[in-house]
Every structure is written in structure tokens, then in C-alpha cells.
Amino acid sequence: MNASRTARERARAELTREIKEEARRQLRASGAQGLSLRAVARELGMVSSALYRYFPSRDRLLTELIIDAYNVLGDRVERAGAADGDDFRARWRACCAAVREWAIANPHEYALVYGSPVPGYEAPETTVGPASRTPIALLAVVRDASRAGVLRVPDDGLAPELDAQAARTAGLAELDVPEPAVVRGVIAWTQLFGMIGFELFGHLDGSMDPADAFFAHTVDLMADFIGLPAGPDGR
Amino acid sequence: MNASRTARERARAELTREIKEEARRQLRASGAQGLSLRAVARELGMVSSALYRYFPSRDRLLTELIIDAYNVLGDRVERAGAADGDDFRARWRACCAAVREWAIANPHEYALVYGSPVPGYEAPETTVGPASRTPIALLAVVRDASRAGVLRVPDDGLAPELDAQAARTAGLAELDVPEPAVVRGVIAWTQLFGMIGFELFGHLDGSMDPADAFFAHTVDLMADFIGLPAGPDGR
DNA sequence: CTCTTGGCAAGAGCAGTGCTCTCTATGTTG
DNA sequence: CAACATAGAGAGCACTGCTCTTGCCAAGAG
């Protein structure tokens, strides 16, 4: 990448970045619903129609923010999962905690990517890569435990269709892991996001709220569920 | 209830009902975002300002729809859980299937109640009753299995804080069930909705999609997880 | 060093939104 | 019947996403 493009191109790149920054600010402040192109333009001292030189529609701007959110979360979870090389339970805990911490710190961005899809908005192909980074990072813990020979593989019988889907999923994540373990990993993945979504959207109010203890306990039970061994401290 | 109120009152009740019906129709067609007071009014042959005689704001209309959705789902799950008196696993399966079927049949209503909350919208107290019917119906299966003495109670150690929360939750649902079983029930609840939400919002595309086999398998594993006995057919 | 091209911002405008206010017609009640 | 409460209509406000036209100005071509 040569940074010495023409003045026009540099200005364009700069402004594109600034628009996204301001949009993210508004998103964080008031959610996807509250993201207004006119308000973004106003804040940047330009007129709304000028924004359309940079983003063809509000949905495309949102798509950019969605991709960024997926990537930020993916980054965090990947980094969390990379530490503690052979303590697989600690890695699992760290990944789950990374997801929750990001979600709590950025509830509107969480809602944007994992909440209800925006009206008539169809996620383009470009989001699936960034979106799969997090589940892949979670399943990587299972894979590494399996490779290390310490994964307690469940003997669940799978229907042929489900077995095929598990094999396909394993292929995506380059998992050399028995299908039943893959399925349990996916279940734990849905559990994790179900729990975090419920916490964030208030469905746990009155029962498991605040959810810290519940979360920690559940993460460990899910580690058992997918067959991860206890950590070196025996827990 | 005397049905012979004044003509005005009957007309008012009638119109209130029609407004909600039309609103629900638009909600189903195009989601909460696409619900427009003006469009509802137009469809009913009245002017938008007239709607404000019946609902003080769009949010209040949405609240009504939310409560209705919770109640419809609660109804279905309660009825599903009432059948098959002593086959607790079958009851569990029926409850879970009821949730999923309703969700798939009414994705926009599902998104309205379990997806991202609408911007700045704060769920009023009146929603919590209807909202808790579904989790209570799910936990009732656990309770009945426990009362019948067939619940395999887990020996999970709970942190004091979590134990207290579990006891409080049990109180809400009038559950005479050991705290660890309550916690596992709540976990299964979050798993169920996490899985259904992921299926509905497309996060399972490319892995466990179509999700029928995955769903059935997961529901059974979760039944194991909460300690329900196998059904009379041994599975 | 001109001249043409093309990217760019601005402004006006369209069709729509939630919501408020005023005014008039009509049903209800003392 | 008269007094009152209520329902609907209409105009209007401040906003939205988006389109189209106009004019400016930098960049490359001859």
C-alpha cells in the first residue's frame, strides 16, 4: 500500500474513516435505530447528500459497522483463546469472558450483530468471514484439547443428517474432532450467546441478575459438557 | 363483565382491537421497524392523529403487541407442558418444540420480544408477568420430575451468591427443587432461546442449517443436562 | 499552459415518519 | 333539551433516507 496517493484519494480515505467513526459513536450512544445519516453529516460539518459519495445507503454504512464489530469481537476472543496454551479450561473461560466483556461494554454493537436483524436488511456475503471468527476461536479450544488427547469425547449417537452437518462444520473450522464433540461445541456456543443476550436484554432481571456468578458457573458446566478436562488447579 | 356498555364504549373497544390487529399484521409483514402508525391508520380508513385517542404513543402500541406475544407463546408452552403427565422428557421436548414452532411461525414477533430491545424503549412492569410464563412452564417440568422423585439432581457446588439467586428464582416459580437443579434449568432455558435465536437470525447458516436434527438432538442433551429421566421408550 | 474531464459538496425537493394542537361533529348524561 | 365529554379530521412541526441538479475545483491530456 503506497500512502502517497493523490490528494483527492487521501482525502477520500480520511473522510470515509471519519464518517465511520462518527457513525460508530452515534451507534454506541443510541443504537442502530438512532443512527441517522443526517446527524452524522451534521456532526462532520457537511450536508447529508454528500455522505452518499462515500456510502451508497444507510444499510451499507451499517454493514461496515457490523463487519467491524465482528472483527473486534473475533480479535478479542482469538487473543483470549491463544493464551494459557495447555490449560484448555482456562482458555475456554477466557474466550467466554472475552465475549461477555465485549458485549457488556458495547451493548448496541452486540445488539446490532446478534440481536434482531434490521428490517429487510440482508447480511451480505462479506460478513460471514468476520462473523465466523468467534465460533471458530471457541471450537479451536475443543480441537486443541482433542489433539492433546485430553478431550473426553461424548458417545452421543447422531442422526445421519446431523452427523453430516457436524462434519461440514468441522471442515469450515479445520477441526479434526469427532462429530459428537463438534455438536456439543456448537451447543455451548449457542448457550453462551443465549445467556449473554438474555443478560444484556434484561431477560435475567429478577432471577440471575447480576449475572456474574451465574455466568462463571455456566461457563464451567459447559466446559464439562463439551468434555474439557479440569485445569491444573483441579477445577 | 357487562357487554352492554354504551355505544361509544363498545365502539372504542372494537376499534382498539382492530388497531392492534392491523398493527400485528404489519408487524408480521415487515417487523417492528416497519410498523407505522400512519400506515395502520390509513389501512383502517382513519387519520393518524385519531389513533392517539387509543394509544398514547407508538411505543405503547408496541408494548401491547409485546405483551400479547408473550402471552401467546406462554399459552402454547404451558399447554405443551401440560400433556404427557408423567413422561417428563416428552413434556420437555414438547415445550421446547412449542417455543421453536412459534418462533419460526412468527419471526418478527420473536424478534420483537427476544431480539434487541427497541431504542430507548424500557419494558414496563406489565410485561414481566407474561414474559415469565414461558420459563416457568419450562421449569415446571423440572419441578414435577423432582416431585415424582425421578429427577437426577446434580451435585454442582454453587457460590453463595448464585445459590441465593437460585433460591429466589425458585420462589418466583414456586419450585420446591434443589438450587443446582434450578440453575441447570435456567441454563437450559438460555440455551434453548440462544439456539432458536441463532437459527432465526441466520447465525447457523452454513453449519447446522436446516436446524431440525440439531434442535432435536440438543433438546435431548439438555434434558440429560437438567437430569430428566429417559422416557418410557428408553430414549 | 490551456482545456477538458471527473470527483465532490451543496441545495432543493420528495415521500415518508411520530406526534401535537385546534376545531368541529356527535354521542352521553344531568 | 342543554351541558359536557369524546372522537375524528386537518394542519403543522421537526425529523428521516434518498435523489437530482448545479456549480466548484483539482487532476490529467494535449
Query: For residue B12, which nucleotide's C1' is closest to its Cα?
Result: D7
- Cα dihedral angle (A8, A10, A11, A13), rounded to 10 degrees? 120
Cα(A122)–Cα(B232) distance, integer angstroms:
45
Inter-residue long-range contacts of B8-11, CB under 8 Å, 24+ positions, other chains counted: none
Flag whether residue A194 sits within 8 Å of chain B, measured between CB atoms. yes
Q: What is the pLDDT of residue B121?
A: 61
SS3 annotation, A106-160 = CHHHHHHHHCCCCCCCCCCHHHHHHHHHHHHHHHHHHHHHHHCCCCCCCCCCCCH
Q: State which residues between 21 and 60 of chain A bring their CB within 7 Å of strand D.
A: 35-39, 48-49, 52, 56-59
Nearest CA to CA, how far is B216 from chain A (Å)? 10
pLDDT band with cut points at 50, 70 and 90 for residue A68: very high
Answer yes or no: is pLDDT of A39 > 70. yes
User: Mean pLDDT over all residues of chain A?
Assistant: 92
Provide the grid cell at B105. 411461525
Q: Is B28's CB less than 7 Å from nucleic acid strand D?
A: no
* B195 or A2: which leads in pLDDT: B195
Q: What is the pLDDT of residue B120?
A: 58
pLDDT tens digits, one per residue of A182-193:
999 999 999 999
Flag whether residue B121 sits within 8 Å of chain A, measured between CB atoms. no
Which protein residue's Cα is closest to nucleotide D15 at C1'? A38
What b/e sequence results for B196-231 when a residue is b if at least 16 CB atoms lie within 10 Å of its CB, and e otherwise? bbbbbbebbeebbbebebbbbbbbbbbbebbbbbeb
Find chain B residues with C-beta within 8 A of A197's C-beta: 114, 193-194, 197
Task: With CB atoms and an 8 Å threshold, state whether B162 touches A217.
Answer: yes
Nearest CA to CA, how far is A5 from chain B (Å)? 39
pLDDT tens digits, one per residue of A95-124:
999 999 999 999 999 999 999 876 555 677
Q: What is the pLDDT of residue A1?
A: 40
Q: Contact B20/B98 with Cβ under 8 angstroms?
A: no
B126 CA from C26 C1′ (Å): 35
Cα(B234)–Cα(B67) distance, integer angstroms:
39
pLDDT tens digits, one per residue of A216-234:
999 999 999 999 999 877 7
Query: For residue A35, which nucleotide's C1' is closest to its Cα?
Result: D16
pLDDT tens digits, one per residue of A162-213:
999 999 999 988 899 999 999 999 999 999 999 999 999 999 999 999 999 9
- Mean local confidence (pLDDT), A66-94: 94
CA distances from B186 to A200, B4, B43, B146, B178 (A): 16, 46, 42, 15, 13
Running DSSP on this structure, what letter comes out for residue A165?
H
What tens-digit pLDDT sequence spans chain B (235 residues)?
334 477 788 889 999 999 999 999 999 999 998 899 999 999 999 999 999 999 999 999 999 999 999 999 999 999 999 987 789 999 999 999 999 999 999 999 999 999 987 655 667 789 999 999 999 999 999 999 999 999 999 999 999 999 999 999 999 888 999 999 999 999 999 999 999 999 999 999 999 999 999 999 999 999 999 999 998 777 6
